[in-house]
Amino acid sequence: MEIGDLNEVNELVSRLNNENVKIAEVNDYIQTLSAGIEEMNVQAQQLSDFAVESSSMAEKGKEISDNVALKVSKISETSREMSNAISILAEYSKKIDEIVYVISSIASQTNLLALNASIEAARAGEAGRGFAVVAENVRELADRSKKAAEQIRDLIKEMQENTNRVIEAIQENVKVTEEVKEAIQELIAAFDDIARRANETATMVKELSEGIDEQANSVQMLVERIDSISKDVSDNLNFATQLTETVKGSIEKLEVIKNKVSQLKDELDKTLEKLEV
């Protein structure tokens, strides 16, 4: 065995040790990288859940918005019906006022005529007694007409009160409508917020996806590096095996040579002893 062979063996052992250290370092890094990828996967799942929740919120908000829109439509329809009813009541009240005015005028004129008739009947004496009876009947009719006009006025007053109540109801509906409009504005703001959050989520998912892709590329590079190192280690091991066999063979040959040298030495010693004798 030569000294150079022993140096090669030592160098190979050193190289193999260095490769083993590198492989251990790479394995540790891969473990850390795998943990990072796992964490990003968890975050991706959380973002996915958040996106689902946002979608559910948007759907619920849409349903609420539809219901509110339907209620607003009903309120608007009710307001139109009330407006029509008030218009009709106003027309009726106007017509009744005209009728009451006519009746009141007739009653006043009738009372005046009855009074004049009574005066003329009194002047006529016995001859105007029958006419006085007629005048009295006319005056009673005028009084009845006056009372009817008063009843009609009361009816008009009641109708006006009902009209006022309707106006109050419409005003309340207007107030409710304004509140509903404010609620719709709040819903719109909520939908805007949901849209903003959805966009932020999309951005986060995109960034996370890019990060995962980068990590995946890094892992792929590490895998390729490990494959290369593994190949180098395999080649070195093969070389070490061959070198070991060579060294082993050299040692066996040296042992044979050593034995032969020992035999030659013994024979030489014996020969020298004979020569001395």
User: How far apart, in whole angstroms, are the C-alpha atoms of residue 33 and residue 206?
Assistant: 20
Assigned token pair, 228: 């290369």
80 vs 127, more confident: 80
Q: What is the pLDDT of residue 1?
A: 46
User: How far apart, in whole angstroms, are the C-alpha atoms of residue 24 and residue 147?
Assistant: 116
Task: Give yes or no for residue 154 having a pLDDT over 80.
Answer: yes
126 secondary structure, DSSP code: G
Task: Give yes or no for residue 14 having a pLDDT over 70.
Answer: no
Share of the chain above pLDDT 70, in %: 72
User: How far apart, in whole angstroms, are the C-alpha atoms of residue 92 and residue 79?
Assistant: 20
User: How far apart, in whole angstroms, are the C-alpha atoms of residue 228 and residue 239?
Assistant: 16
Arithmetic mean of pLDDT over the chain = 73
User: How far apart, in whole angstroms, are the C-alpha atoms of residue 65 and residue 191?
Assistant: 10
DSSP code per residue over 37-100: HHHHHHHHHHHHHHHHHHHHHHHHHHHHHHHHHHHHHHHHHHHHHHHHHHHHHHHHHHHHHHHH
User: How far apart, in whole angstroms, are the C-alpha atoms of residue 108 and residue 120?
Assistant: 18
* pLDDT digits 0-9 by tens, 104-144: 787 777 777 777 777 776 777 666 666 667 777 777 777 78
Q: Which domain holds residue 73?
A: 3-276
Note the Cα 68 to chain centre separation in Å. Answer: 19
Note the Cα 223 to chain centre separation in Å. Answer: 41
Helix or strand holding residue 128 (H, E): none
Task: Give yes or no for residue 228 having a pLDDT over 70.
Answer: yes
Per-residue pLDDT band at 90 (split at 50, 70, 90) = confident
Task: Give yes or no for residue 87 having a pLDDT over 70.
Answer: yes
Nearest to 191 by CA among 86, 57, 71: 57
Per-residue pLDDT band at 3 (split at 50, 70, 90) = very low
Q: Domain count of the chain? A: 1
- Whether the full predicted model's pTM is greater than 0.75, yes or no, is no
Which CATH number do you get for residue 151? 1.10.287.950
